[in-house]
Amino acid sequence: MENLKVRDVESWDDFEMTYWWLKKHPNAYDSVAVDTLTQLQQLAIRKILEDKSKDPDRAGDFGAMTMKEWGAVASLMKTWIVNFRDLPMQVLFIAQDRVFNVGEEDEAQGLDPEVGPALSPSIAKHLNAAVHVVGNTFIRRRVVRVKLKTPPKGTSPWRDKEIIEFCMRVGPNSTYITKVRKALARSLPPVVVDPTYDKLLDIMLGRKPTDG
C-alpha cells in the first residue's frame, strides 16, 4: 500500500514516543492505526509491574496482579486511548475478539454471550464509548448463480459460484458489540461489504444506500 509506514512498538515507552511524534507532526499522516489494543494492554501490564519492581513475565500467573495494579493498567490504557483518539487525524483501534458473559453466574443472571474487544471489561467499555464506530470484521462465503456467456453445447448456462466477501458488522446485533454514531433518523445496515473509510462516512451521514 502506497505511503504506508509501520512502526514496531516493543515497549510502553515506544508507544508514548509514537504519540508525541504524531502530535508534533500533525500533517505527516492522514490516519494512524493501533494494531492491536489487545497486545498494547500486555505492554501496559508489563509497565505497571516493572514500575513496582515485579517480574512482568509472571503477569499471566493466577493472582500475580492485585486489583490496584489492574486499576493502574486500566487508567493508563484509558488515558492513552483518548490521547490517540484526539490526534488531528483519523485513528483506528484494532482489537482481537473476546466472548463476555459465559460464566455460570452470567447464565444464572440471564445474560447472553457478547463478543467485543479482548480487553479488560472496564477498558473495553471505555473504548466503545470513546469512538464513533465499532465494527466486527469477518469473512463471508456465499454461493451465487452466474450465467456463462458460452456454455458447453447441450449444458445449462447457469453455474453455482462461491464468492468470498470481506465484511464488517455495524448494525445492531444481539451478539456482537457494534456502534455507529449518527443521527437517529438514519437506519444502519447489518453488514458492510469491503468496508472503507468512505463507506463508513456515507453511513454516518446517510449519503448513499449501503450493504446488507
Q: What percent of the chain has pLDDT over 90?
A: 60
Residue 146's DSSP bridge partners are 159
| Nine-digit cell string for 53 | 519492581
**pLDDT value of position 75:** 97
Q: What percent of the chain has pLDDT over 70?
A: 87
Contact indicator for 193, 142 with CB cutoff of 8 Å:
no
Q: What is the pTM of this model?
A: 0.83
**pLDDT value of position 153:** 83
CA angle 82, 84, 89 (to 5 degrees): 125
Contact indicator for 167, 191 with CB cutoff of 8 Å:
yes
The count of C-alpha atoms lying within 13 angstroms of the C-alpha of 151, restricted to the half-sphere facing its C-beta, is 10
Please state the φ and ψ torsions of residue 150, each to the nearest 5 degrees. Answer: -130, 80
**pLDDT band, very low/low/confident/very high, at 6 (cuts 50, 70, 90):** very high
Pairing of strands 90-94, 31-35: parallel
Q: pLDDT, tens digit, for every residue of 82-107?
A: 999 999 999 999 999 999 877 666 56
Residue 127 CB burial class (10 angstroms; 0-12, 13-18, ≥19): buried
Contact indicator for 48, 73 with CB cutoff of 8 Å:
yes
**pLDDT value of position 181:** 84
Q: pLDDT, tens digit, for every residue of 37-78?
A: 999 999 999 999 988 887 777 665 556 788 999 999 999 999
CA–CA separation, 198 and 204 (whole Å): 10
**Residue linked to cell 516493543:** 10
| Nine-digit cell string for 198 | 468512505
**pLDDT band, very low/low/confident/very high, at 170 (cuts 50, 70, 90):** very high
Q: What share of the chain is helix, strand, coil (3-state, %, to 5)?
A: 35, 25, 40
The C-alpha torsion from 78 through 81 and 82 to 88, rounded to 10°, is 170
